[in-house]
């Protein structure tokens, strides 16, 4: 199936092409938003049309038995193993956010007749590993995740691909961060090459007095975009951090909407972007403070370092504010490594390449070090070095 | 050329941007000796030190620099460092996010690798550091912090001396190592410098004050004015300079 065939078609035809019965609301919403193209707000910096030209085999995720393992392992959208005692099961989609800005959020739902539901108990630490094994495939799947009130859970997410090519992964979460809880999500997405492309479309609800800590580490090449809509209730807090380190002709990044709905809600969003080769980094982020969200506080910042003259950063921080009683700040900078700092290191006998590596890691470190688990931290640093040494001769 | 010369600077001309700063500077550094350079603000002292270590600001437009008999004019900064030339900067740069200990160990291991020696692991390195830190009166948290970030002026200078002690260079250029130091720091830093004297290393100490020279006992005083060395004499010149300033110095 070529996704481009979904362009400009009406309800009936769409239902037939997508093999969807019922689910009228979702279908209608998707039809009205339309398949994204390069003129769509959310996809303006991402070459989405090219991905829609490929003829993919759509393999619907057929749920099977779930084995027991240390981590949640999801292979091509199907849960293969999960830790003992974890409440994880398949369910028909019960609720989607009908106001989501991303058309692909709705397409993802439409192509996933069942969703994976995970209920995280207590102060769990959960690893979720996504595997992709098929070439020329469209892999749609969705996960609904709940944590428990008053608890502090952590999720580590990572991605592994076999030697495949030309696959498009279309997945995403609907996350529900319960009242008075903390949910920490650390996503480590290293793509050494472009075996598959990804559109990840998320929705995060942060309930009263809840904390959501969302960290993403996107490293390497390839094409991938994460789109997230985050809603904050009263006294909710979101701390989002995105690290991008791209090379070759990669196009990756974050498109987000941080929506303050409740009073006294606070959000902090920080993007650090390192771009090498001809890569393009994307940070297209809107903060929206609604009438109901008095005394909110929102901070947003993007910093980029270009390591190559053909690298490019598309940073678009935006504020949309309907009230006066708030504190909000945003900013974006793009620069190069400091010549002064480089020289200082070199004047101590450290080679040009190593000096650059040290400074690049230093720039990223403030984000890497927010990951509490040292083993995860080491993995991120190792992936970081790997990306670095694919573009720079080891000194 | 004296046979004992470790570095010879011949008719050196250099500019920063379009501005000519060194205008035919001659100087010989003798092995095992301490050379002090004094001179008015803006004379070109820091420019000379930057030129010697291959700083990107400086363009050499004439003359040459010989280190152990070979021209280093075309050598990269990192290579000069590995070969044993060290500059303690007048204004050391802050590098947030780079752990000081990690930096120091990277620098030492780069040097050891260059010399065909085993690299040191973190534990071996810390053992080596302990004595140096104590001598310099540096708290051990100084090396677990980011490189120079938020260091006071004196702490930065101590950190420069720490690097010198670790790297054991052969030509040591100290650009105003004494400015901004309190009495204890000056003593500690001088002690560090004196410890490096081994009869072979050569020191080039740029200073405005005689205080540090009381501690580290220079063999020669050179006056740098308007891009050239206009006088070279023994340590007795310091008193004369302090009394009469630079205006009375006649070019030799
Ligand atoms: N990056 C630069 N750009 C432009 N001019 C410079 C630069 N660096 C130095 N200069 C100029 O070159 C001249 C020599 O400067 P230098 O720093 O070498 O003097 P100095 O002898 O070390 O002085 P001080 O005793 O004040 O440290 C000065 O006039 C200074 O303004
Ligand atoms: Mg100076």
ipTM value of the model? 0.96
Compute how many other C-beta atoms are within 10 angstroms of the C-beta atom of residue B193. Answer: 23
Whether residue B251 lies inside any domain: the answer is no
| pLDDT bracket for residue B2 (50, 70, 90) | low
Q: What is the pTM of this model?
A: 0.88
Cβ-proximal residues to B69 (8 Å cutoff; 6+ apart), any chain = none
Q: What is the DSSP letter of B71?
A: E
Q: How far is CA A135 from CA A54, A132, A233, B60, in A?
A: 11, 9, 41, 58
Beta strand residue intervals within A46-136, DSSP E: 57-58, 67-68, 72-75, 78-82, 87-92, 114-119, 125-132
Q: Are the C-beta atoms of residues A153 and A124 closer than 8 Å to each other?
A: yes
pLDDT on residue B1: 47
Distance from CA of B244 to the nearest CA of A (A): 37
**Cα distance between residue A302 and residue A376, in whole Å:** 24
CB contact under 8 A, A351 and B110: yes
Say how far residue B186 (Cα) sits from the centre of its chain. 15
Inspect the interface and report whether the beta carbons of A358 and B89 lie closer than 8 Å. Answer: no
Q: In whole angstroms, give the CA distance from residue A323 to residue A14.
A: 40
B95 in A contact zone (CB under 8 Å): yes
CB-based burial, B160-190: b 16+ in 10 Å, e otherwise: bbbbbbbbebbbbbbbbbbbebeeebbebbb
Question: Apex CA A105: angle with CA A289 and CA A155, to 5°?
Answer: 80
Establish if B66 belongs to a structural domain.
yes
Q: Give, as one character, the DSSP assignment of residue A163.
A: S
Total domains present in chain B: 1
For A270, the token pair is 């920080």
Count Cβ neighbours within 10 Å for each residue of B58-90 and write b for 16 or more, e otherwise. Answer: bebeebebbbeeeebeebebbbbbbbbbbbbbb
Tell me phi and psi for residue A25, to 5 degrees.
Answer: -60, -45
Q: d(Cα A48, Cα A26) in Å, to the nearest integer?
A: 21
Q: Any CB–CB contact under 8 A between A341 and chain B?
A: yes
Nearest residue (CA) to ligand 1, atom 6: B16
Q: What is the model's pLDDT at position A394?
A: 63
Residue B6 contacts A, CB cutoff 8 Å:
no
pLDDT in tens, B158-197: 999 999 999 999 999 999 999 989 999 999 999 999 999 9
Ramachandran angles phi, psi of A229, nearest 5°: -115, 125
- A362–B163: do the CB atoms touch at under 8 Å? no
Closest partner CB to A341 (pick from B89, B95, B106): B95
Using a CB-CB cut-off of 8 Å, the residues of chain B touching A347 are 53-55, 77-78, 80-81, 87, 89
Ligand 1, pocket-test mutation among B16, B23, B88, most atoms within 8 A of CB: B16
Q: Is B249 among the domain residues?
A: no
Query: Residue B93's domain spans which residues?
Result: 2-244
**Closest by CA position to A255, among listed A200, A299, A186, A293:** A200
Q: Which CATH number characterizes residue B117's domain? A: 3.40.50.300
Per-residue pLDDT of chain A (395 residues; tens, 9 = 90+): 999 999 999 999 999 999 988 889 999 999 999 999 989 999 999 999 999 999 999 977 778 899 999 999 999 999 999 999 999 999 988 789 999 999 999 999 999 989 999 999 999 999 999 999 999 999 999 999 999 999 999 999 999 999 999 999 999 999 999 999 999 999 999 998 889 999 999 999 999 999 999 999 999 999 999 999 999 999 999 999 999 999 999 999 999 999 999 999 999 999 999 999 999 999 999 999 999 999 999 999 999 999 999 999 999 999 999 888 889 999 999 999 999 999 999 999 999 999 999 999 999 988 998 888 888 889 898 888 888 888 776 65
Which chain A residues are within 8 Å of B46, Cβ to Cβ?
Answer: none
Residue A395's pLDDT is 52
The one-character DSSP state at A208 is: T
What letter does residue B140 receive in the DSSP assignment? G
Task: For residues B88 and B172, give the distance between their C-alpha atoms in angstroms, rounded to a whole number.
Answer: 8
Q: CB of A206 within 8 A of CB of A177?
A: yes
A243 contacts in B (CB within 8 Å)? none
Give tens-digit pLDDT for B92-112: 999 999 999 999 999 999 999
User: Using a CB-CB distance cutoff of 8 angstroms, which residues of chain B are in contact with residue A354?
Assistant: 106, 110
C-beta atoms surrounding A194 within 10 Å: 17
Query: Could you tell me if residue B208 is inside a domain?
Result: yes
Smallest CA–CA distance from A354 into chain B, residue: B106
Within a domain: residue B95? yes
> Ligand 1 atom 19: the closest Cα is on which residue?
B42
What is the C-alpha to C-alpha distance for residues A320 and B10, in angstroms, rounded to an integer? 65
Quick check: is B97 in a domain?
Answer: yes
- Name residue A165's beta-bridge partners: none
> Which two tokens mark A223?
């094409």
Q: What number of C-beta contacts closer than 8 Å exist between A and B?
A: 71
- A349/B55 CB distance under 8 A: no
Reading the block at residue A392, the tokens are: 């720079």
| B252 in a structural domain | no
Query: B57 and B143 in contact (C-beta within 8 Å)?
Result: no
> Crossing angle of helices B100-114/A352-368, nearest 10°?
160
């Amino acid at each position: 199936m070529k996704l481009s065939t979904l362009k400009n078609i009406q309800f009936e035809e769409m239902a037939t092409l997508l093999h969807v019965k019922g689910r009228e609301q979702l279908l209608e919403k998707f039809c009205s938003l339309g398949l994204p193209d390069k003129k769509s707000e959310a996809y303006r910096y991402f070459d989405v049309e090219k991905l829609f030209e490929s003829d993919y085999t759509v393999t619907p995720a057929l749920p099977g038995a779930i084995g027991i393992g240390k981590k949640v392992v999801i292979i091509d959208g199907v849960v293969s193993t999960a830790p003992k005692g974890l409440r994880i099961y398949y369910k028909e989609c019960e609720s989607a956010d009908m106001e989501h800005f991303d058309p692909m959020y709705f397409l993802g739902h439409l192509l996933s007749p069942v969703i994976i539901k995970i209920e995280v108990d207590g102060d769990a630490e959960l690893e979720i590993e996504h595997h992709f094994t098929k070439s020329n495939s469209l892999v749609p799947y969705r996960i609904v995740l709940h944590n428990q009130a008053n608890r502090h859970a952590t999720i580590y997410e990572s991605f592994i691909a076999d030697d495949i090519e030309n696959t498009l992964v279309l997945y995403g979460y609907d996350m529900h961060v319960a009242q008075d809880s903390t949910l920490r999500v650390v996503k480590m997405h290293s793509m050494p090459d472009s075996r598959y492309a990804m559109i990840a479309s998320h929705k995060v609800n942060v309930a009263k007095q809840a904390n959501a800590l969302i960290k993403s580490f996107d490293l390497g090449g390839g094409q991938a975009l994460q789109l997230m809509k985050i809603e904050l209730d009263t006294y909710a807090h979101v701390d989002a951090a995105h690290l991008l380190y791209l090379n070759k002709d990669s196009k990756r990044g974050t498109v987000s909407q941080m929506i303050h709905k409740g009073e006294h809600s606070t959000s902090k969003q920080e993007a650090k972007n390192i771009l090498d080769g001809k890569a393009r980094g994307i940070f297209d982020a809107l903060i929206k403070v609604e009438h109901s969200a008095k005394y909110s506080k929102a901070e947003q910042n993007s910093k980029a370092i270009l390591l190559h003259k053909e690298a490019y950063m598309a940073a678009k921080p935006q504020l949309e504010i309907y009230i006066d009683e708030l504190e909000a700040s945003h900013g974006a900078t793009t620069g190069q490594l400091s010549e002064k700092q480089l020289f200082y290191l070199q004047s101590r006998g450290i080679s040009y390449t190593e000096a650059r590596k040290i400074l690049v890691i230093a720039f990223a470190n403030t984000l890497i070090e927010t990951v509490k688990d040292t083993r995860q931290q080491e993995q991120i640093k190792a992936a970081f070095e790997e990306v670095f040494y694919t573009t720079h001769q080891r000194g | 050329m004296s046979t004992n010369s470790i570095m010879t600077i011949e008719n050196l001309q250099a500019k920063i941007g379009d501005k000519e700063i060194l205008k035919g500077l001659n100087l010989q550094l003798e092995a095992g000796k301490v050379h002090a350079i004094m001179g008015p603000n803006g004379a070109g002292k820091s420019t000379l030190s930057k030129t010697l270590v291959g700083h990107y600001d400086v363009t050499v437009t004439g003359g040459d620099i010989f280190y152990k008999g070979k021209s280093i004019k075309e050598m990269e900064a990192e290579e000069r460092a590995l070969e044993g030339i060290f500059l303690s900067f007048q204004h050391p740069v802050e590098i947030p996010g780079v752990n000081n200990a990690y930096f120091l160990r990277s620098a030492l291991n780069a040097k050891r690798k260059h010399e065909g020696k085993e690299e040191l692991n973190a534990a071996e390195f810390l053992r080596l550091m302990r004595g140096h830190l104590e001598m310099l009166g540096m708290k051990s948290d100084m090396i677990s912090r980011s490189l120079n970030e938020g260091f006071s002026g004196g702490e930065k200078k101590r950190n420069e001396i720490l690097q010198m002690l670790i790297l054991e260079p052969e030509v040591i250029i100290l650009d105003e190592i004494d400015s901004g130091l309190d009495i204890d720091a000056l003593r500690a830093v001088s002690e560090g410098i004196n410890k490096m004297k081994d009869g072979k290393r050569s020191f080039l100490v740029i200073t405005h004050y005689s205080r540090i020279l009381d501690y580290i006992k220079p063999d020669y005083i050179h006056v740098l004015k308007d891009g050239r060395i206009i006088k070279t004499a023994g340590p007795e010149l310091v008193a004369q300079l302090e009394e009469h300033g630079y205006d009375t110095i006649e070019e030799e």
